[in-house]
Each structure stands twice: as structure tokens, then as C-alpha cells.
Structure 1
Amino acid sequence: MASFIEQARRQQIIAAAIWVLAHEGYASASLARIARQAGISKSVISYHFANKNEMFKAVFDHVVNAAGAYMTPFLKQAGDPACQIAAYIRHHMAYMAEHRDELLAIGMIAINHTDADFQATLARSTAEEREILTSLIEAGQAAGQLRAFDASILAAVIAKAIESALDEWAWRLQLDLTAYADELIALFERGMRKDEP
């Protein structure tokens, strides 16, 4: 198990990688540039990560795990499945608003990093997100809240709608993510509920 100092150093490198990816782009995110941002030598990165692929995967895992930890309490507090779906959308947007660099960084990696192992990690993460939404929708259908439809299709649509908000926000800083969440929730509730709320 890594020592506290080793864990802290890894987090320092991850934070530097996030900053470079978010502010300078994927093409600039060399190990040398990330090391310079972190105020360390390139060899220190090589000590903690076998290669760039491993470092980028660590960045991705860090952001995904942090987002999950942020969202979980809100989902637990939301109550019924329909409210949990609304909470899923709302607090995804809230996490974006509070962690812009992190979301931009993993977006840069997802779009540009073609390593097969990383793409497999990305595919698993996407599938897990869809499974969470699908299970919430199916629970809402079983409870009589939501009408009958293919839950997996709507799960994919909701996930893509959230992803599109990040794409829009990346280019339009003034985008109101709270209002964006409100409109998405209203849209999906009207489309999914048996009776309009």
C-alpha cells in the first residue's frame, strides 16, 4: 500500500495534469509540461506512474470517483425513483459548476486519448452510468410513477443530455447550469411520468 507521502505526490501530479488538460488542452499535456506545472521533475511522474496512459487513467478515475462521492448522498436523500432521477440530473450539473477543470480534463482525455485500455475504462464507466439510470427508471416504472417505455433508451438519452451540457458550457461560460438542469428535469418528467407532475 502506498504511503501517505506517495499518495499525496500522486494527487499532486493528478491535480497538475487536470490543470494542464483543462487550460492548455490535450496536445500540451506532456509528462514534461505536467511535471513543470507540479513543480517536480519528469522522473518523479515516472516513479509514480508507469506511463502516460496510467496517469491519464488515474486522472479519469479520480474525477469519476469524486463525482460519485459527491452525488451519492443527494440520491439517497431524494426519496422515490422519480425524485432520484431529478437529483441525478441536478447534482451532475452542480458538480460541473463546482469542478469545471476536472470535467474539462476528462472530456479532453475521452475525446483525444485513443489508448485501448483507457477506452475500455471509458466504456465501462459509461455503461455503469447507464445502468444506474436504467435501474432508477425501472424502479419508477415498477412503482407506477413512470409510464411503460424502454428504460435503457431513456437512460442513454438522459446521459447524453447531461454530456451535452458540459459541451455547451465548455464554450459558453455564461451558461446557467442550474437553469439548464431545471429545464432538463421538466422535459424528462413530462416525457416519463404517467401523469404530468
Structure 2
Amino acid sequence: MSAKAAGRDRPTLTERARRAQFIQVTIDLVARHGYAGTSLAKIAEAAGVSKAAVLYHFPTKNAVVQAAYAEVIEALTDHVGTELSARSGAAALETYVRSLVSYMTAHHGHARMIIAAITEDSGVGDGTTSASRWQNVGLLIDAAKGAGDYRPEIDSRATAVIANGAVDAIVAQWLEDPGFDAAAAAEALVEMLDRSLRV
């Protein structure tokens, strides 16, 4: 039974702290063992509590995985958003690429968590082809076209899909081989986009 189901609308400070602990443990476990290798029992064991204690906050494995995914996405979005806040035109897309790659390589557990959540049956609702993945990047491209930095005939959706796919490939290669220079690859991608999109 969840805290809310027990008759309280808002969890206590202790309950919020416990929930945050379960979310962090889940991020760590999914990063190391994948979605399939993570269970409520393993989450409980890693947190040093009973499985019933986890079930008090999260009714299913998918519920805690979805909460962990949301936490990771929020942190990533906040980071990229902060980096983009002072950028416009073509500089915004370039900053998007650099900041996304730098965040993912600095937080490899988050990167693995995101990949596992969107590629396995976790119920997060996002996927590698979700419209939300290209729409926000498409808006950056549209803004750069409006600013006169990019050619007006550029297909924003196609370019956004290509840019995201390239970032995914860079991060995947780095996760497979930590010796791979992801930052240099991000710069190469920025240069390729610049050459193909600029007026």
C-alpha cells in the first residue's frame, strides 16, 4: 500500500527520503544490470530494507523504474536547458550536441539508465523514435533558420532525427569503449552539421 493509499495525500520527509533512496538504488542497479536484471527484491536488498518497504512506495518494478527514469531525464533536461539558456541560432544546436554528450559521459549511470528504460519493456512511454525526441531539436533548427543561420529549405525533422541518432551513436560507442573520445566526436558532429546546414 502506498503512502497516499494509506490515507495521506503528501508523504512525510522520511518517506520522501526513502523514496529518493529507492530511486537512486534503482538507477544504480539498472545501470549495472539492465532492466531485466533489476527486481524489487534486488532494490530492497541494495537499500537494506524489506521488499515490503519498497512496495509501500512503489507498487511494481515498473513504477520504481519509471520514477528513476523521470529523475534522470529531469536532471539531463535541467543541465541541457541551462546550457541552452544563453544561446540562440546555430549556437543553440551546437550547444545542445555538446551539452548532451558531455552530460551523458559525465553521468554514465544515467546514460545506461536511459538506454535500458527506453529499449526494454519498462513502460516509460518514451522510445528512440518518440516524437518528443526530435520535436524539441526541430524547434532549435527552426529558430536557427529564422535567425538566418541555416538554409530555409532544411528539413527540420529529418535533421533533428539525424542529429539525435548521431549523439546516440557517440554515447553508445563511449559506453562500449570508455577510451573513445566522445568530446572530439561531438565536435566532429557539430562541424558536420555546421557545414551541411549553414547559409
TM-score, scaled to structure 2: 0.88
Q: Which residue in 1 is equivalent to 2:40?
A: 31
Amino acid aligned to 1:156: V
Q: Which of 104, 107, 111 pairs up with 1:99?
A: 107
Judge conservation of contact 2:89–2:144 (CA < 8 Å) in 1.
yes
Q: Which of 159, 163, 169 pairs up with 2:174?
A: 169
Are 1:156 and 2:165 matched, yes or no? no
Q: Which residue in 2 is equivalent to 1:190?
A: 195
**What pairs up with 1:45-194 in 2 under 5 angstroms?**
45-78=54-87, 80-113=88-121, 115=123, 118=124, 121-123=125-127, 126-147=130-151, 148-194=153-199
5-14 or 183-192, which deviates more: 5-14
Deviation at 1:114, TM superposition (A): 5.3
C-alpha separation in 1, matches of 2:159 and 2:20: 36
Deviation at 1:4, TM superposition (A): 2.4
- 5+ residue gaps, structure 1, are none
C-alpha separation in 1, matches of 2:129 and 2:24: 21
C-alpha separation in 2, matches of 1:125 and 1:92: 17
Judge conservation of contact 2:94–2:190 (CA < 8 Å) in 1.
yes
Judge conservation of contact 2:30–2:112 (CA < 8 Å) in 1.
yes
Deviation at 1:125, TM superposition (A): 9.4
| CA separation of 1:122 and 1:72: change in aligned 2, threshold 3 A | same
Task: Give CA-to-partner distance per residue, 1:95-133, whole Å, 9 cap, x none.
Answer: 112210111022112222254xx3xx2159942231111
C-alpha separation in 2, matches of 1:3 and 1:187: 51
Amino acid aligned to 2:141: I
| CA separation of 1:124 and 1:8: change in aligned 2, threshold 3 A | farther
SS in 2 for 1:77: coil
C-alpha separation in 2, matches of 1:6 and 1:125: 36
Deviation at 1:93, TM superposition (A): 0.9
- 5+ residue gaps, structure 2, are 1-9
C-alpha separation in 2, matches of 1:122 and 1:11: 22
CA RMSD of aligned residues (A): 1.7
Q: Which of 21, 30, 41 pairs up with 1:21?
A: 30
State how many pairs are aligned: 189
C-alpha separation in 1, matches of 2:108 and 2:129: 19
Judge conservation of contact 1:82–1:140 (CA < 8 Å) in 2.
yes
C-alpha separation in 2, matches of 1:128 and 1:112: 18
| CA separation of 1:168 and 1:63: change in aligned 2, threshold 3 A | same
C-alpha separation in 1, matches of 2:146 and 2:80: 24
Q: Which residue in 2 is equivalent to 1:41?
A: 50
